[in-house]
């Protein structure tokens, strides 16, 4: 098992290429350094994607995220760089990365970056009614 962060993102074949399905991940322990002060910045990353032929392998994603711990990066730059790296290896139908940085100087920063595969169109959303035990419907 690696004891050092690495930039290599590994993938595995999508087991259900015949359909669109969403993979949702929340990564609450992202850290990097402020390029101006060298102080640590902390964020929760929210990654949602619809795979095409490949899915991301979680251990490699964890080590990749860890590789930013000692790097100076502006919030906007690091979010877009991570998205670019994920798009390069996954070539997903759709991917969105939200970086929710914790307060620094009284300011919370959220950066959202997304990518759509050329020609991909999402399926319409189906809204189902939820069952409520008291009224039998919601």
pLDDT of residue 132 exceeding 80: no
Q: With H, G, I as helix, E, B as strand and everything else as coil, classify residue 124.
A: coil
Check 20, 34, 48, 52 and give the catalytic one: 34
Burial of 78 per CB tally in 10 Å (0-12, 13-18, 19+): buried
Enter the pTM of the model. Answer: 0.86
Residue pLDDT, tens place only, 109-125? 999 999 999 999 888 88
41 is catalytic: yes
Q: With H, G, I as helix, E, B as strand and everything else as coil, classify residue 84.
A: helix
**Which of 37-46, 53-62, 122-131 has the weakest average pLDDT?**
122-131
Domains of the chain: 11-116 (3.30.1130.10)
Check 20, 32, 41, 48 and give the catalytic one: 41
Residue pLDDT, tens place only, 63-108? 999 999 999 999 999 999 999 999 999 999 999 999 999 998 889 9
Answer with the residue of higher pLDDT: 124 or 45.
45
Could you tell me the sign of the dihedral formed by the alpha carbons of 62, 84, 113, 18, in that order? Answer: negative
């Amino acid at each position: 098992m690696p004891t050092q962060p690495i930039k290599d993102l590994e993938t595995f074949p999508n087991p259900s290429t015949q359909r669109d399905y969403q993979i949702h991940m929340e990564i609450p322990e992202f850290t990097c350094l402020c390029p101006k002060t060298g102080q640590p910045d902390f964020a929760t990353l929210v990654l949602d994607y619809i795979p095409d032929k490949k899915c991301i392998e979680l251990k490699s994603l964890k080590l990749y995220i860890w590789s930013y711990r000692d790097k100076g990066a502006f919030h906007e730059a690091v979010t877009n760089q991570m998205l670019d790296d994920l798009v390069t290896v996954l070539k997903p139908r759709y991917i969105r990365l939200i970086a929710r940085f914790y307060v620094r100087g009284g300011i919370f920063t959220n950066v959202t970056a997304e990518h759509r595969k050329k020609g991909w169109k999402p399926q319409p959303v189906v809204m189902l009614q939820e069952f409520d035990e008291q009224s039998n419907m919601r």
